[in-house]
Amino acid sequence: MNTLSNGIAGRVCIVTGGARGIGGAISTRLANDGAIVAVIGLPADRDRTESLRASLNGSAENVVFYEGDVGEYERCTKAIEAILQEHGRIDCLVNNAGITADHTARKMTIDEWNAVLQVNLSGPFFMIKAVLDAMVAQNYGRIVNISSVVGLSGNVGQANYAAAKAGLIGLTKTIALEVATKGVTCNAVAPGFIATEMVAAMPPAAIERAVASTPVQRLGQPSEIARTVRFLLDEEAGYINGAVFNVNGGWYM
Ligand code: NDP
Per-run averaged pLDDT (10 residues), the chain, 253 residues: 66 98 98 97 97 94 97 97 98 98 98 98 98 98 98 96 98 98 98 95 93 97 98 97 98 96
Residues involved in catalysis? 161
Report d(CA 230, CA 71) in Å as an integer. Answer: 25
Task: Give residue 117's pLDDT.
Answer: 98
**φ, ψ of residue 17 in degrees (nearest 5):** 60, 35
Of the candidate CATH numbers 3.30.70.100, 3.40.50.720, 3.30.1200.10, 3.40.47.10, the domain formed by 12-243 belongs to 3.40.50.720
Q: Whose CA is nearest to atom 36 of ligand 1?
A: 148
pLDDT given for residue 3 in this prediction: 47
Give the pLDDT confidence score for residue 7 in this predicted structure: 85
Nearest CA to ligand 1 atom 27: 22
Q: End-to-end distance of the chain based on CA atoms, in angstroms?
A: 37
pLDDT of residue 85: 98
pLDDT at 1: 42
Residue 181 Cα to ligand 1 midpoint, Å, equals 31
Taken in order 187, 173, 112, 148, the sign of the CA dihedral is negative
pTM here is 0.97
